[in-house]
Structure 1
Amino acid sequence: MARMRFAKQKLRHALQSPQWQEHLDDIAQRGLENVGPLFSCLLLGPLTMHRAAVALGRTTALLATRQPEAARNIIRRLMWHLNEDSGNTGWGIPEAFGEILAASEPLAKEYHRVLASYIIDLGRDDNYCDNTLLRRSAYWAIGRLARARPELCMAARPWLRKGLEDEDLICRGMAAWALAQLPPDLMDAPGLRRLAEAGHEETCELFDGENLYEKSVSQLALEALEHTGS
């Protein structure tokens, strides 16, 4: 227990340092030793959570080349945390899922459909995330993967478009941002235009790989609309 606590404190200090990215290779090289503490760091404040997700992505990607089944077990752990029967809050879990798939091509090919399934609402027998806060994160995670591996997220595009009309306004903004990470498609334009013109000033919190920043729902829709060339 004391060793785990020390490892968590060491990781927290590294991730909260202005030079946090310089620690990522060392964190990843320690492999499974750091996985538990990194999961714990996902429960910290938003910026540290995102940085921990990046570190977990780097660590799991390296494990996938050395211990593929151990890397798959980490993905399964994420999936369990997102299962409503698990009793977990899931804070930071979609972000970690997105970062892992962005960092590892083999894992991305194997699990990208699972990540997309959290925004697919079939009405029954689906994996749709009913928790509004986690669904916001799921849209972000799909956008994160789309930025790194757009070809794996093309099938999610219709559901991202549907997300522009999500009952939660922040989810709408996150869906717009995610669409902007894909190659331009004029079919996105009608929904984005409606959202851009609605004047929603509610803000979405996003992570650019270094810092957190905020933009309004309609601003994100406008930028995504401009991305389509419309």
Structure 2
Amino acid sequence: MPKTQLLKREVLSLLKGKNLPQLKEEVLRFPPKKTVNVLIGALCHREEELRWKAIACMGPVVAAIAQENIESARIIIRRFMWMLNEESGGMAWGVPEAMTEALANHRQLAEEYTSILISYIWLEGNLLEYPPAQRGVIWGIGRLAQVFPDLVAKFLGPVYALHLFDSNDLWVKAFTYWAYIQMKNITPEDIKEKICPKILEFPDEDFSLLFYDGNILTKTNLKALKEQLIEILLQKSLD
């Protein structure tokens, strides 16, 4: 069996059989530059849990590449950006999430590319209109808000993503709730005048989802995320 095929089989076996965070440590046993290609291929895997594991592993693998050669890591980020470009002709499944994890695991990459990731949901920026891509971007903003809140605050005002609350895509709506739960730069004025009206405008819907929350794979539902966000916003408005 060719070495490339053997590597793919071994990495996919890990993704199927190991739990986070052990998986993120063991995947570093393989050559990072070659492992990236396997992980990118796994972004389209039919199993949702395996796709999220591939996304989670992208972070430490790209960080290992950056530690050795930062320009090689930049090439990978630019590859993700090309995949998100309409001219690429691809569907970009999981690409915003994979790009996010690479940034979340390396401060220098985050400083260089967070503004670009955020621009993908700006109405006046490089807005990605395809809902599955929007899911990944707004999830990514929440993920980066966990680790680099200063960068998210620098490049994203809390009202820039409000239009995503109006999305008919329940994944987009759920990840928008989750992203706002992670944000630290929300003012009482924003809460009262702009955010709460958006949240309260829509009825609750029965929708469950599985995703990587920055530590583990977690399963929750739209109503629980909405209630958690309302509780946090209420507390912020009272502080």
The alignment's TM-score, normalised by the length of structure 2, stands at 0.85
Task: Tell me which amino acid in the other structure corresponds to 2:150.
Answer: E
Q: Which residue of 2 aligns with 1:207?
A: 212
Q: Which residue of 2 aligns with 1:163?
A: 164
Q: Which residue of 1 aligns with 2:68?
A: 66
Q: Which residue of 1 aligns with 2:54?
A: 52
Distance in 2 (alpha carbons) for counterparts of 1:141 and 1:38? 17
Distance in 1 (alpha carbons) for counterparts of 2:206 and 2:160? 22
Q: Which residue of 1 aligns with 2:232?
A: 227
Distance in 1 (alpha carbons) for counterparts of 2:34 and 2:121? 32
User: C-alpha offsets along residues 129-150 of structure 1, whole Å, 9 cap, x if unaligned?
Assistant: 1111111121111111111111
Q: Which residue of 2 aligns with 1:172?
A: 173
Distance in 1 (alpha carbons) for counterparts of 2:182 and 2:23? 27
Q: Which residue of 2 aligns with 1:149?
A: 148
Residues 204, 88 of structure 1: alpha-carbon distance in 2 compared, 3 angstrom cutoff = farther
8 Å contact from structure 1 (residues 196, 219) kept in 2? no
Bigger shift: residues 166-175 or 30-39:
166-175
8 Å contact from structure 1 (residues 8, 41) kept in 2? no
Runs of 4+ displaced beyond 6 Å: none
The alignment's TM-score, normalised by the length of structure 1, stands at 0.88
8 Å contact from structure 2 (residues 165, 173) kept in 1? yes
User: C-alpha offsets along residues 83-115 of structure 1, whole Å, 9 cap, x if unaligned?
Assistant: 111011111111111111111101000000011
Distance in 2 (alpha carbons) for counterparts of 1:146 and 1:71? 21
Bigger shift: residues 152-161 or 174-183:
152-161
Bigger shift: residues 72-81 or 34-43:
34-43
Residues 162, 197 of structure 1: alpha-carbon distance in 2 compared, 3 angstrom cutoff = closer
Distance in 1 (alpha carbons) for counterparts of 2:145 and 2:112? 15
Q: CA deviation at 1:55?
A: 1.2
User: C-alpha offsets along residues 173-198 of structure 1, whole Å, 9 cap, x if unaligned?
Assistant: 32121011012532135433542463
Distance in 2 (alpha carbons) for counterparts of 1:213 and 1:168? 18
Structure 2 residue 131 is the aligned partner of structure 1 residue 128: no
Q: Which residue of 2 aligns with 1:35?
A: 36
Higher RCO (C-alpha under 8 Å, 6+ residues apart): 2
8 Å contact from structure 1 (residues 143, 179) kept in 2? yes
Distance in 1 (alpha carbons) for counterparts of 2:28 and 2:175? 29
Instruction: Report the number of matched residues.
Output: 226
Where does structure 1 lack aligned partners over 5 or more consecutive residues?
none
Distance in 1 (alpha carbons) for counterparts of 2:208 and 2:191? 20
Counterpart among 191, 207, 217 of residue 195 in structure 2: 191
Identity %: 27
SS in structure 2 at match of 1:48: helix
Aligned-pair RMSD on alpha carbons? 2.1
Q: CA deviation at 1:163?
A: 2.2
